[in-house]
Structure 1
Amino acid sequence: MFGFSPAEGAGSMTKQLCTHLRGHIENGTLSPGLRLPPTRRAAQELRIARNIVIEVYEQLTAEGYLVTRTGAGTYVADSIQTHLPVRQLPQQVTAAASSPVRPKEQWIDFDAGTPDLRHFPRKLWSQYLRDVTANEPEHVLDYGDCRGSGALREALVRYLFRVKGIRCSADQIIVTSGTSEGCLLLASAFSDLFRTVYVEEPTIGFIADIFRRLHYAVHPVEVDGHGMIVGQMDPSLPRGLLILTPSHQYPTGSILSIQRRQQAVRLAETCGHYILEDDYNSEFRHKGSPIPPLQLLAPTRVIYAGTFSKTLSPAVKLGFLLVPPDLVDRVLQTKADLNLSASGLTQLALSRFIEDGHFDRHIHKMRGIYRKRRIFLKEQVQRLFGGEVQVLGDEAGMHVQLAFRPEVYGAVDWKASEAFGVRLSSFDEYARHQGRYPGKIVLGYGKLSEEQIAEGLRRLHAFVQSAKSV
């Protein structure tokens, strides 16, 4: 964005981006009235946490460099005296300076959020959609039940009991278009009960963004190799919602230990908290038995959230909430008030897909594929990097954590790896405070073939050696 490239040893990312934008405004490169990119898009382009961009925009707005127009965006302010930039010689050589720069279409992207869509059962799925569209009564084309399709909710009741041991009724299940909508629904439904959420640190950013946008106070709680450190939470903290990924935390890959699960439940029962269990991909456990849901420990305090974005495809746009009985009416009324709904055709097709056993078969197939890729990736990492890096995280899901020696690689700008034709994520992109996780990155392998994994790791090795020598 506007030529920004962070430099090692030049201060925090927030400070550098502030200085960069401030300088371009002062020298006239960014002219008055220019609309800046939305914070989410800017964060994606810069591969940094969105909170950093928000903080920078707010800081420069406070200083008068930017103005915010409600509903329209953020703009460069008028009446700022400009001066010509002073020509300077380069002060620093980055690893990318001598890198084999590759065009974007040739990048190997270790994205951790997308499954392997090449194995999506297209023909079978399209048959179900065609059959539902052609043969079902007209009511499936209408807005449908606010709770979601009755057939899908009944199918989910049976699936949850068969696979996860969860006992519930169809009345407790509320179909959503995915986890994002589920969080938006809960944030709206709980707004008159409490205004505080507790999130894992680090974690994926969009959940906290949703609650922050609805004016909740967001409190990060540190994560280690056993999940959220629940013991850090003071019992005197305000009542709120604990958001956990107990079966496979992202990005660490850790499992919330039974001791901490019990701690979380006791804390919730004592302090009046509710817990949101985000179970985004526990089906893909590659070693040992599946991890039992946290919901089993406290059915009246835990809201269980599931999604089909990782198990089938993001394009299915379906998820669900399993809500404790005393909260069902509150959440349903909010859903009706917000007029949130998902495709009735897709819901009915999915219900039949599950009932006919195809969903179980697809999970079994993909679990084998992902297990094989994980093993291959670990072998290649060990071969290329040896003792320079640890592969961490539970044997599950579609990503691994790589922890490079912080004393050697702590200052590496991982975004610069793109010049070598490889894209990945550092822990700092999921952290509220930058610089706390030196040398830690995430590699997703779900959508990559073994050939792509091998080539991507070769490029990463070349980048790391180049960065190490700088």
Structure 2
Amino acid sequence: MYGIYIDRNSSLPVTRQLCHQLRERIESGQLAAGTRLLPTRVMAKEWGIARNVVIEVYEQLTAEGYLDCRVGSGTYVAGGIMPNAAARVHQVPAKMEPAITSPASPDRTIIDFATGIPDLARFPGKSWAKYLKEAAGSSPHDYNYGDVKGSPSLRLALRDYLFRSKGISCSADQLFIVSGASEGFLLLAKALSAQFNSIYIEDPTIDITRDIFRMMNYSLVPVQVDSNGMQVDAIRTFLPGHLLLLTPSHQFPSGSLMPIQRRHQAIRMVEEADAYVIEDDYDSEFRLKGIPVPPLQTLSPSRVIYVGTFSKTLSPSLRIGFLIVPPSLIDTITMTKDRLNLHTPAVIQKALAAFIQDGQLERHIHTVKKVYKKRRNLLTERLAQIFGDRISITGDEAGMHLQVLFHHERHIELPWNDTSAFGFRVERSDDYRIADRNPEGGIVLGYDNLTSEQITKGVCRIHRFVSTFDDSM
């Protein structure tokens, strides 16, 4: 089968023999990209071996990027495997082979490791269209502005969903529907500006929130991030007129998780200062190791303002986000939202309410979470195979991105913003810094909207890029 044979007299285990020969067939082009391999039961019968051995071979080659296992469809030969590149991937990190000097690959398509984008191909379009059609034809009143706080049906559905999925206990009155998390931050910055004019903010952090508060004339007080999130103990005195902005469940770009000790410390600080924590919780649904971490909001509902969005769980184009505000701020936020005339389309809200009530959102998250975990595993394995101990990977336990830090000094200042000639794009960790410090040279890789084939190709292209500068130094 496929010109592969098992040498029963060889000292090599059967698994290694089959892996080696399948790699050779793929690298040589004898098994072309997209070829569907026979099912494991058939292969086991043809080769006269146990099925679990074939399963182990398929799983190993899938992890290496040679095969693409599609649930419910079968196992296929992955694309984008060039003979030289495949040989190097197979041999590193034992010893790095000479790099390909030509930056351009036969496939000129740019592989973009953009962050914050879910798998758009897996958006449940047919199901969503049904809910949208029902909402659109239900009542003429849904074409008016509606409640400025948001559709009552969506706020009720969201209240119940948040309790089931995150343990958040709040009233529908505390919930505000906004057109994406960005509008939520803008609303908060405006509504709280009479009482607050400065904000303690993670450094580095996502540029959107940083820029919103800066444009709203807040003074930014950057607080450095480590492997446990913001170093809150660096805030010696929590000054009056300051807010605190945290991303405790999956910090961007480091991916760090804030431990309970720091969470309690942050809560004590804002309580003593009569201030508030703004919790950005944009992708905590995708906890890929262990169980989801309870939001900061559950520790102090009276002091934490929670910001969530459906841009990551469903689609950015929906432009639906939400706030959970402490009871003491309900009137202030309502008045500001009304004065700014910030209404979210009522029909979309009604469709989303029914979508959540029927359990469609949770089913979708459950489905894509398994896909994202597979892609995360593939990305980390390929990075480890190629770069070995020359890199550290952080933030791969949750969310939709991970960070890669290069250890060698010559890699710290590579021109990561100019990689199109090598067929890929990444984001620099240092671009998200606020304070001017020595560069770390890390890159941020989003993977949820990339196929397994693109991930495999993309890592090879990153390797070629780094290797080219190794040769020139």
TM range (shorter): 0.7 to 0.9
Give the conservation status (yes or no) of the 8 Å contact 2:176–2:322.
yes
Give the conservation status (yes or no) of the 8 Å contact 1:406–1:439.
no
Where does residue 381 of structure 1 map in the other structure? 383
Give the drift of 1:112: 1.1
Give the conservation status (yes or no) of the 8 Å contact 1:99–1:419.
no
Give the conservation status (yes or no) of the 8 Å contact 1:248–1:394.
no
Letter in 1 for 2:130: Q
- Matching of residue 110 in structure 1 with residue 113 in structure 2: yes
Where does residue 179 of structure 2 map in the other structure? 177
Letter in 1 for 2:267: V
Task: After TM superposition, list the pairs within 5 Å mapping 1:61-460 onto structure 2.
Answer: 99-101=102-104, 106-134=109-137, 136-433=138-435, 436-460=438-462
Give the drift of 1:130: 0.7
In structure 1, how many angstroms separate the alpha carbons of the residues matched to 2:469 and 2:347? 51
- 1:337-378 deviation line (CA, Å, top 9, x unaligned): 000011100000000000001000000001000001011111
Letter in 2 for 1:362: H
In structure 1, how many angstroms separate the alpha carbons of the residues matched to 2:206 and 2:150? 27
Give the conservation status (yes or no) of the 8 Å contact 2:174–2:326.
yes
TM-score (norm 1): 0.77
In structure 1, how many angstroms separate the alpha carbons of the residues matched to 2:449 and 2:369? 13
Question: Does the residue aligned with 2:293 lie in a helix, a strand or coil?
Answer: coil
Deviates more, 1:412-421 or 1:184-193: 412-421
Residues paired across the two proteins, number: 374
Change in 2 beyond 3 A, CA 1:106/1:183: same
Letter in 1 for 2:307: A
Question: Does the residue aligned with 1:402 lie in a helix, a strand or coil?
Answer: strand
Larger radius of gyration: 2
Where does residue 67 of structure 2 map in the other structure? none
Q: Which runs of 5+ in 2 are unaligned?
A: 1-99
Change in 2 beyond 3 A, CA 1:465/1:176: same
In structure 1, how many angstroms separate the alpha carbons of the residues matched to 2:351 and 2:450? 28
Give the drift of 1:458: 0.3
In structure 2, how many angstroms separate the alpha carbons of the residues matched to 1:375 and 1:163? 24
Letter in 2 for 1:115: P
Question: Does the residue aligned with 2:305 lie in a helix, a strand or coil?
Answer: strand
In structure 2, how many angstroms separate the alpha carbons of the residues matched to 1:433 and 1:278? 21
In structure 1, how many angstroms separate the alpha carbons of the residues matched to 2:382 and 2:106? 25
Question: Does the residue aligned with 1:390 lie in a helix, a strand or coil?
Answer: strand
Q: Which runs of 5+ in 1 are unaligned?
A: 1-96
- 1:411-454 deviation line (CA, Å, top 9, x unaligned): 21212322201100111111124563422111110100110000
In structure 2, how many angstroms separate the alpha carbons of the residues matched to 1:183 and 1:384? 40
Letter in 1 for 2:257: I
Letter in 1 for 2:152: G
Letter in 2 for 1:111: A
Letter in 2 for 1:224: D
Give the conservation status (yes or no) of the 8 Å contact 1:239–1:272.
no
In structure 1, how many angstroms separate the alpha carbons of the residues matched to 2:224 and 2:113? 25
- 1:168-192 deviation line (CA, Å, top 9, x unaligned): 1000000001111001101110111
Where does residue 11 of structure 1 map in the other structure? none
In structure 2, how many angstroms separate the alpha carbons of the residues matched to 1:428 and 1:419? 22
In structure 2, how many angstroms separate the alpha carbons of the residues matched to 1:293 and 1:122? 30
In structure 2, how many angstroms separate the alpha carbons of the residues matched to 1:110 and 1:363? 21
Give the conservation status (yes or no) of the 8 Å contact 2:278–2:306.
yes
State the 4+ residue runs in structure 1 displaced beyond 6 angstroms. Answer: 102-105
Question: Does the residue aligned with 2:334 lie in a helix, a strand or coil?
Answer: helix
In structure 1, how many angstroms separate the alpha carbons of the residues matched to 2:319 and 2:107? 28
Give the drift of 1:98: 6.0
In structure 2, how many angstroms separate the alpha carbons of the residues matched to 1:406 and 1:273? 42
Letter in 2 for 1:108: I
Give the conservation status (yes or no) of the 8 Å contact 2:101–2:464.
no
Letter in 2 for 1:144: G
Q: RMSD value over aligned CA atoms?
A: 1.8
In structure 2, how many angstroms separate the alpha carbons of the residues matched to 1:245 and 1:311? 17
Question: Does the residue aligned with 1:198 lie in a helix, a strand or coil?
Answer: strand
Change in 2 beyond 3 A, CA 1:349/1:384: same
Where does residue 80 of structure 1 map in the other structure? none
